[in-house]
């Protein structure tokens, strides 16, 4: 496997790239979403601590490879798009095989998935929360929520579409 493909699949940070915020696991991200929704003061404290780390990083460390960011974004979006479609295909196939054709429910699932995509698109914040470098905890949380909703919406659209074929 080439180095570029390896970086793309593993999501490892390039050694020359800057500190762009605290790396977080899925469960840490879920915790931050929970805090943002139900304990905003706790989230603000977390963000202030993360911002202190960002501000303490050397100025030169804030400048990373834009090409790497583009390539990484393309690889990650392709991966999550395939995961969403594959999950939707599996769910749609299971529903079709176990329940049989239910076109009304299949269409309902597609409508719910489409509504989730619309919700994600309309909820995405842009300039109102943007910083100079785009790596504050609030900005990253905004992207995680957007991407999670998009994966769920795409999976539901795929599931309903596959189920409608039975």
Q: What percent of the chain has pLDDT over 70?
A: 82
Select the more confidently predicted residue: 37 or 2.
37
Average pLDDT, rounded, for the chain: 85
Q: Rounded to a whole number, what is the distance in angstroms from the first to the last CA of the chain? A: 39
Question: Checking phi first, is residue 11 left (phi over 0); if not, alpha (psi -120 to 50) or beta?
Answer: left
Overall number of domains in the chain: 1
Better-predicted residue by pLDDT, 163 or 140: 163
- C-alpha dist (Å) from residue 154 to 37, 79, 109: 24, 13, 11
Distance separating alpha carbons of residues 159 and 89, to the nearest angstrom: 5
Q: What is the mean pLDDT of residues 132-138?
A: 79
pLDDT in tens, 38-69: 999 999 999 999 888 888 777 654 455 778 88
82/124: higher pLDDT: 82
User: Which structural domain range is residue 100 located in?
Assistant: 3-163
Q: Span 97-104, mean pLDDT? A: 94
Angle at 55 between CA 11 and CA 19, to 5 degrees: 15
The answer to whether 160 touches 106, Cβ cutoff 8 Å, is yes
């Amino acid at each position: 496997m080439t180095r570029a493909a390896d970086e793309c699949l593993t999501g490892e940070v390039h050694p020359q790239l800057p500190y762009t915020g605290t790396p977080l696991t899925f469960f840490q991200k879920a915790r931050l979403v929970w805090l943002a929704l139900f304990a905003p003061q706790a989230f603000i404290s977390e963000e202030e601590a993360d911002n202190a780390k960002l501000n303490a990083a050397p100025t030169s460390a804030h400048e990373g490879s834009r090409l790497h960011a583009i390539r990484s974004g393309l690889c990650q979006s392709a991966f999550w798009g395939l995961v969403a479609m594959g999950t939707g295909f599996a769910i749609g196939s299971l529903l079709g095989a176990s329940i049989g054709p239910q076109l009304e429910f299949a269409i309902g699932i597609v409508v719910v998935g489409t509504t989730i995509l619309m919700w994600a698109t309309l909820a995405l914040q842009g300039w109102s929360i943007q910083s100079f470098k785009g790596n504050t905890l609030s900005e990253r949380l905004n992207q995680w929520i957007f991407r999670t909703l998009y994966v769920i919406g795409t999976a539901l659209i795929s599931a309903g579409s596959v189920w409608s074929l039975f």
